[in-house]
Amino acid sequence: MNELIAVVGPTAVGKTAISFSLAERFHTELISGDAYQIYRKMNIGTAKPSTAELARYRHHLINIAEPDESYSVAAFQEMATAVIADLHECGMIPVIVGGTGLYVQSLLEGYAFAAKKVEPPERQAAKRRIAASSADELKKYIHGATGWEPSDWHELLANSQRLIRLVAAIEGGDGKEAVQPRKRGSLVYDAFVIGLSLPRPVLYERIERRIDDMIAAGWAEEVKGLLADGIKLDAQAMKAIGYGEMAAYIQGNLSLDEAAAQIKTRTRHFAKRQLTWYRRMPYIRWYEKEKYASEKELVETVVTDIEAWSQCLKRKGV
């Protein structure tokens, strides 16, 4: 059995809710495809399922790292592949719940990451080059070495750990492999990939309401606890949207309203980039949520489609 279900879509569209329904209906377990839900003590700002939900629905790749640890798409792919194999052995169809497009795509398409591991001396050399270069110089250096044009230079240059790994890879001659991992050319699983969408005004309203709810739930206290634990602002975990802004509020550099406004703007932009990324994945089956009278009707439609797909695979002897 090589079947796999994935749920993708922009932030706040409702991926978690439908994943719970699928877990119940197909008696299976969930695998997080989110780059930040892996971190312990980062619950509110990453929209992590609640303690009760984590107890009810078994999740993998959540709460597996400390906030000062690094994580990568290659690490995700390796761990998720192992979990999927284990679940297949138990006769389950795993459900990937994805928020990070690159992570899910790398898993489904079997990216091969050829760049070698960055050793401490190489990391230090990369840090020195970054410190000695302006933003424009770094852009020219990265583009010249790799031919790559990232969708968001600001995000790349602000993500110190990712930038360090990239510069170190370029210095070691592995720059192109670091930004353009080899693809197998086709899906490596028999995957039913669900894409959820909402009209942009509705999605943006949900985003703003979610952020207000996160702040009301104690997001600032969560970030204050991370800082008290010695987590630095340049840690990879703190690059998650909103954590830097909440830290600025705690440190007196932003008002709470200013922090909230900046987080909402960044999150809207992130949702747009997610949708742009998913256009690269033509095998996604899109479900426009506004066309369904209720969440239950949407779930029933999706389940019916999955069952038909699974039967088709069986008839083909896949």
Helix (H) or strand (E) holding 3: strand 3-8
Does the pTM surpass 0.85? The reply is: no
| pLDDT the model gives residue 79 | 95
Q: Residue 154's domain spans which residues?
A: 124-179
pLDDT, tens only, 26-67: 999 999 999 999 999 999 999 999 999 999 999 999 999 999
In a domain, 250, yes or no: yes
Q: Are residues 92 and 59 in the same domain?
A: yes
Tell me what pLDDT residue 249 has.
Answer: 98
Within this chain, do residues 279 and 140 fall inside the same structural domain, yes or no?
A: no
Same domain, 200 and 290: yes
29/108 same-domain check: yes
Q: For the domain that residue 306 is a member of, what is the CATH number?
A: 3.40.50.300
Question: Would you state the pLDDT for residue 182?
Answer: 58
Query: Within a domain: residue 102?
Result: yes
**Same domain for 155 and 194?**
no
Q: How does pLDDT run across 160-173, given as a tens digit for each residue?
A: 777 888 888 888 88
Spell out, as residue ranges, where the chain has pLDDT lower than 70: 1, 113-117, 151-152, 155, 159, 177-185, 318
Q: Please count the structural domains in the chain.
A: 2
Identify whether 138 is part of a domain.
yes
> 258 and 297: one domain?
yes
| 96 CB-near residues (< 8 Å, 6+ apart) | 4, 5, 6, 7, 30, 31, 33, 80, 104, 107
Closest CA to 272 of 129, 115, 155, 144: 155
- Residues 199 and 239 placed together within one structural domain of the fold: yes
* Same domain membership, residue 169 and residue 71: no
156 in the same domain as 71: no
> Within 10 Å of residue 305's Cβ, how many Cβ atoms?
14
Q: Indicate if 58 and 146 belong to the same structural domain.
A: no
Q: Give Cα 214 to chain centroid, integer Å.
A: 18
pLDDT in the model for residue 174: 76
